[in-house]
Amino acid sequence: MEKKHLIYNPEMECIDREKLKAIQGQRLRETVKLTYENVPLFRKRMDEKGVKPEDIKSVDDIVLLPFTEKTDLRDEFPFGLLAAPKSEIVRIQGSSGTTGKPIVSGYTENDVEVWTEMVARSLAGAGCGKDDIVQVCYGYGLFTGGLGAHQGATRLGAMVIPMSSGNTQRQIMMMKELGSTILCCTPSYATYLGETIRDMGLDPKKDLKLKAGVFGAEPWTEEMRKRIEELLDIDACDIYGLTEIAGPGVAFECLEKKGMHVNEDHVIPEIIDPVTEKQLPYETPGELVFTTITKTGMPMIRYRTHDICTLYVDKCECGRTLVRMGRITGRTDDMIVIRGVNVFPSQIESVLVKTNGVAPHYVLVVDRVNSTDTLEVKVELTEDMFSDTVAHIEEVKNYIAGEIKSVVGVQAKISLVPPKSLPRSEGKAKRVIDNRKL
């Protein structure tokens, strides 16, 4: 079936890549100059490297620039990295709740505008337009999810229902009564909503009007997409972003669902080797690094996301020429090392969702017994997995353990726990409990 693609800003989203490079070069030069002149930390790092703003002539010279780390935002908290006077800042947004000192970012009016445009493009990518009713169940507040989706949908002229997170029964009631067509939330909450809707005996085909969802703020898998699409009878599109760069909308999926288009006229994505810090070519997996080129409040130069993914530059069926980033397959920092093997929770998730009758809710418990790392995978038991014989249940457990062993390379103990006993997170799902005293 031919898909109908909505493109919010075709001039930029479908731009000739040579033209794009010229625009990026120009904007990068301006950003570097602005940051060098106004942010002491950046100026110090440039000087240490012996790089002057004038050395940056084209976008290819980006590799000369120093990296920015999340710790820089903590150390310079709250206003140390601002490139604009405080009086020009019209908004503060912050990280979604990590421990310790928070991370905040300051937005000028221009930055809010840039971010809004990026989210508008993202929602349009999922088919959202003026006639749509957008239910936003991301939290509103410092977290960029709620306000970001809100602003983008408003820009498109859609009707916004600012539900914020939580209160699932009320979410479903409003969804049904108001006829929401677009859902914005985390993928784990979308799954939970779908399960609850089914448990209530509702049929999304008949009782709801949802057509698409824009899901982000945590990594998810292709299998999880299939499950959400079945549960809610919608197209499920991925959206990516981070407060440090702008918020959701840095990259987004169109209905082709073949990776997320990076809004390259506003941010330059790079993939680097996390160890050597060398830039890697397209189609090679590595750590994602972003440089903002239109932000004026708190520009970010070569910000290391620690997210692992791959960039693809071939043209998308939707007509956009913007580079696409593949799914985040892990994080360089929350990757767990078990018996010397790098394990990403997303790998285990992909095994679970492929197994018939297994719900995609899981918790990984890592421990160290007699100097050996152990991995326990807690999975919720479903009626499909259950039978009256012990042998059948043991078979299911052995099958899951075997699949994990072949995909991840680590022997895991599978524990079946009662349905709905694992925590459902309405923000980022906590999937790893590491009890090792490392």
Partner 1 sequence: MFVKQISIYLENVKGSLREITQLLGDNNIDLKALSIADTMSFGIVRCIVAEEQIEKTMEILREHGNIAKVNNVICVCIPDKPSGLSKVLTLIEDAGISIEYTYSFYKNTGDNAVLIIRPSEKRRTVAVLSENGIQMLNQAEIDKI
CB 381 within 8 A of CB 419: yes
CB 380 within 8 A of CB 420: yes
When the beta carbons of 71 and 389 are compared against partner 1, the nearer one is 389
Residue span binding partner 1 (CB under 8 A) among the ranges 108-116, 135-143, 386-394, 422-430: 386-394
When the beta carbons of 210 and 416 are compared against partner 1, the nearer one is 416
Residues 138-177 that bind partner 1 (CB under 8 A): none
Q: How many residues interact with partner 1 (rule CB under 8 A)? A: 18
State the nearest-atom distance from the C-beta of 366 to partner 1, in Å.
Answer: 18
State the nearest-atom distance from the C-beta of 381 to partner 1, in Å.
Answer: 5
Residue span binding partner 1 (CB under 8 A) among the ranges 188-196, 208-216, 239-247, 385-393: 385-393
Q: Which of 206, 389, 406, 438 binds partner 1 (CB under 8 A)?
A: 389
State the nearest-atom distance from the C-beta of 301 to partner 1, in Å.
Answer: 51
Q: Is 71 in the site for partner 1 (CB under 8 A)?
A: no
Q: Which of 371, 372, 388, 438 binds partner 1 (CB under 8 A)?
A: 388
Q: Is 383 in the site for partner 1 (CB under 8 A)?
A: yes
Q: Which of 382, 401, 428, 434 binds partner 1 (CB under 8 A)?
A: 382
In the shown chain, the binding pattern of residues 393 to 422 toward partner 1, with x for contact by CB under 8 A and - for none, equals xx--------------------xxxxxxx-
When the beta carbons of 33 and 420 are compared against partner 1, the nearer one is 420
Residues forming the site for partner 1 (CB under 8 A): 381-383, 386-391, 393-394, 415-421
